[in-house]
Structure 1
Amino acid sequence: MIAQKYKTVPYLDGGRTMAGADCWGLVRMVLMDEYGVPWLPEWGHISEASHADIHAAFCSSRPEFYRVPYAAAGDVVCVFSPAGECAHVGVIVPGDTGPTVLHTRPQSGISTMPLARFEHFYDNRIEYWRYAFDPSL
């Protein structure tokens, strides 16, 4: 199971490796290691507390993705603040009971949550984005 491989990675604000990762660092690793997506931009050190910086980074990478109406394994799930800013990201992975969100937060570290529960928890303030590349090329 994909999620098990990352469960021991500690939360580290600005982290981009297995030694420590924030939400974007975790998404980058999972997409590269599990789904063959080329390394995505690092976005530099963006604090989890700065929704404006997270949103600006998200917008800068948006051309590499396209929005999809339903989540599938390997999709990025973006959580939007009430102000409409992308404030958190996770990645969809297979779970025991269906699609699961793998994400990390400073308070809890890496965790998984069934997609339906994640949608409810974030009051449906989420969007799904799929990397726009053709692995057969």
Structure 2
Amino acid sequence: MSWSNRFVGTPFRSHGRSLEGADCWGLACLVYREELRISLPDYLGYTSVDEHAEIAALVDGAKQLPMWVPVHGTAVAFDLAVFRRGRMDSHIGIVVQHGIMLHAAGEDCAKIESYQAGAWRHRLTGVYRHVELVSRATK
């Protein structure tokens, strides 16, 4: 879990994309950029993190892009877990190991949490792997 420790405690900041502050997608962008050298789209097309419908539309659109492959089976480090908030997919966590994620939610800082127990267990709607990670694994 050593790579994830670097990001724990990152303050929550709506539209944030750095260690100075990040929302859930910003944290994913930061981790992918710094740990994997993969640039993810900023997806700044939402007013605030309270606009779940706007975020859900962005998440749904992103899931359809060829850069994400649905994971059926065991999740691995750097997969992205998608969660419902209310009735909409509007939260992202970065898998640290199967069942454990790094994420930033609400006004809290980035932290490690289980997504197989507690509040997130019934909200998980899917896990996705970046296509570049799939191709790296097959080389």
Aligned counterpart, 1:50: 51
Aligned counterpart, 1:121: 119
Q: 1:79 to 1:44 in 2, by over 3 A?
A: same
Q: 1:56 to 1:106 in 2, by over 3 A?
A: same
Partners in 2 of 1:99 and 1:80 — Cα distance? Answer: 16
Aligned counterpart, 2:60: 59
- Percentage of matched positions with identical amino acids: 23
Q: CA deviation at 1:122?
A: 2.4
Q: Secondary structure at the match of 1:107?
A: coil
Give the CA RMSD over aligned residues: 2.1
Structure with the largest fraction of strand: 1
Q: CA deviation at 1:82?
A: 4.2
- Unaligned regions of 5+ residues in structure 1, if any? none
User: What is the TM-score of this pair, normalised by structure 2?
Assistant: 0.81
Q: 1:45 to 1:10 in 2, by over 3 A?
A: farther
Give the conservation status (yes or no) of the 8 Å contact 2:103–2:112: yes
Partners in 2 of 1:128 and 1:78 — Cα distance? Answer: 6
Give the conservation status (yes or no) of the 8 Å contact 2:11–2:108: no
User: What is the TM-score of this pair, normalised by structure 1?
Assistant: 0.82
Residue 22 of structure 2 is aligned to residue 21 of structure 1:
yes
Figure out how many residues of one structure are paired with residues of the other and give that number: 130
Give CA-to-partner distance per residue, 1:20-66, whole Å, 9 cap, x none: 10000001111222234x21110115321111111111123221201
Q: CA deviation at 1:104?
A: 0.6
Q: Which runs of 4+ in 1 moved over 3 A?
A: none
Partners in 2 of 1:24 and 1:52 — Cα distance? Answer: 15
Give the conservation status (yes or no) of the 8 Å contact 2:45–2:54: no
Partners in 1 of 2:105 and 2:123 — Cα distance? Answer: 17
- Counting only pairs closer than 5 Å after superposition, residues 1-137 of structure 1 correspond to structure 2 as 1-36=2-37, 38-44=38-44, 46=46, 47-62=48-63, 63=65, 64-70=67-73, 71-83=75-87, 85-94=88-97, 99-117=99-117, 120-126=118-124, 127-133=126-132, 134-135=135-136
- Unaligned regions of 5+ residues in structure 2, if any? none
